Amino acid sequence: GQQLNQSPQSMFIQEGEDVSMNCTSSSIFNTWLWYKQDPGEGPVLLIALYKAGELTSNGRLTAQFGITRKDSFLNISASIPSDVGIYFCAGQIVGNQGGKLIFGQGTELSVKP
């Protein structure tokens, strides 16, 4: 089935550092989403992007919908310990495919105080 390539697979950073992760796809999506998952929990939506080229911020998080509609990145500025978790990108085609999400493999973020 469809897959997204998400990188890096894991990151170990110092508190206060900035973080960047990205996703690429061979398919076009009309929506890109970024989720965070804490242990034992379901994913929680961080940012949703609906237009090619769109750049959206949510606090210390910034994400962009690539102009080709085949990629997206997420940046986290000035990381803090509670940023620890697994971050997933997801692409969505809204329409006749019903809106199901195609997920990347995840980026596991560790923040050292």
Residues 6+ apart with CB under 8 A from 18: 75, 76, 77, 78, 79
105 scored as a contact of another protein (CB under 8 A): yes
Give me the least distance between CB of 38 and another protein, in Å please. Answer: 10
Smallest separation (angstroms) from another protein to the CB of 95: 8
- Cα separations (Å) of 90 from 1, 14, 17, 81? 14, 26, 25, 24
Residue 80-99 contact track with another protein, rule CB under 8 A, x = bound:
--------x-x-x-x--xxx
Q: Is 6 in the site for another protein (CB under 8 A)?
A: yes
d(CA 79, CA 92): 28
Residue 98 C-beta: closest distance to another protein, Å: 5
Q: How many residues bind another protein (CB under 8 A)?
A: 28
Residue 40 binds to another protein (criterion: CB under 8 A): yes
Residue 100 as a binder of another protein (CB under 8 A): the answer is yes
- The bridge status of strand 10-14 relative to strand 107-112 is parallel
Work out whether 48 is an interface residue with another protein (CB under 8 A): yes
**Is 40 in contact with 48 (CB distance < 8 Å)?**
no
